[in-house]
Amino acid sequence: MGLSPAPTGPVALLYDDLFLAHDSWGHPESAARLTAITSRLRGEPQLGPECWGTALPAEDEHLLLVHRPRHLERIRELCRRGGGWIDSDTYCVASSYRVALGAVGASLEAVRLALTCPARPAFALVRPPGHHATPERAMGFCLFNNAAIAVRQAQRAHGLERVAVVDLDVHHGNGTQEVFYDDGDVLYCSLHQFPLYPGSGRAEERGEGRGSGTTVNVPLPPGTGPEPWLAALREQVLPALRRHRPQLILVSAGFDALGTDPLAQLALDPAAYGSAAVVLADVAAELGAAPMVWLLEGGYDLEQMPEAVRLCALSLAGAPSSPSSPATSLGT
């Protein structure tokens, strides 16, 4: 994984071609997702070369902040054998362990950059995604929990006392919730379709022990559109953020709540995601310029999903945005 100079633009975009090497023909969580996203973003003058960077891969010690040693060994051994299926949804190829280390490394670097320059948010364009991975289990296309590891590293290396994770993926982030369910220092908020895979994320799941009240689940019915989705963000997630007053806001940025996504039934449009980025940036500013990091999770429609990512990236960069013109669209 080659290193580029640290991004200096208004938003830091972390990406590496290594992330394309984890791929299985016909699977929705494919390299084509990132190819579509980066093609769309690199056409934006507001997101020029100065915004882009890479990162060193993580070490096993970083994974062990969240995952059990036997979980690492199971994935590593499967990759040594050339890959295979962990369950009916989740695969490895020979390079997947190395790719997953790269994804975690980019997530850690995004946190480091955001904390060292709080006025510049960071967006790690990584795969495989992570929010379903539990301490002991890979599932839901996820091998290691990028977001949870990044939070634990922020606590360990940067001494943060309060962190918030806002999960916008259409599927509930059961793995992230499990890691922080009894941790009162980490607020976990999720907007997701319910019922839907993995079956968790009921409103009454609110944490336990020291973490009681620091899990906020907002289950939404199929067909929920932009206005009620954004209202739920404003009315249920923002008050929790204001109460918690995080020193870092990490967004698990899944783009599979779009109405065109093949794996779910919410009805968002790309503009809703751009609006969410503005709303979250505004509350971060209200909370004393809390640094903000976005990590890519799901999203499987290869036309509208890259447009939603583009609008979010432009919002994070403070740049005006408009729908892509036909000349820049990736229409099929």
Active site residues: 132
Residue 161: half-sphere exposure toward Cβ, Cα within 13 Å: 2
CA pair distance 35, 33, nearest whole angstrom = 6
Residue with tokens 């799941």: 205
Going by C-alpha positions, the residue among 141, 174, 152 that lies closest to residue 67 is 152
CA pair distance 32, 181, nearest whole angstrom = 34
Q: Within 10 A of 211 (CB to CB), how many other CB atoms are there?
A: 19
3-state helix vs strand vs coil in the chain, percent to 5: 40, 15, 45
Q: Within 10 A of 80 (CB to CB), how many other CB atoms are there?
A: 11
CA pair distance 38, 27, nearest whole angstrom = 19
Residue 188: half-sphere exposure toward Cβ, Cα within 13 Å: 29
Pairing of strands 52-53, 12-14: parallel
The separation between CA 137 and the C-alpha centre of its own chain, rounded to angstroms, equals 18
CA pair distance 283, 246, nearest whole angstrom = 11
DSSP 8-state code for residue 139 = B
Pairing of strands 91-93, 83-85: antiparallel
Looking at the DSSP bridge assignments, the partners of residue 91 are 85
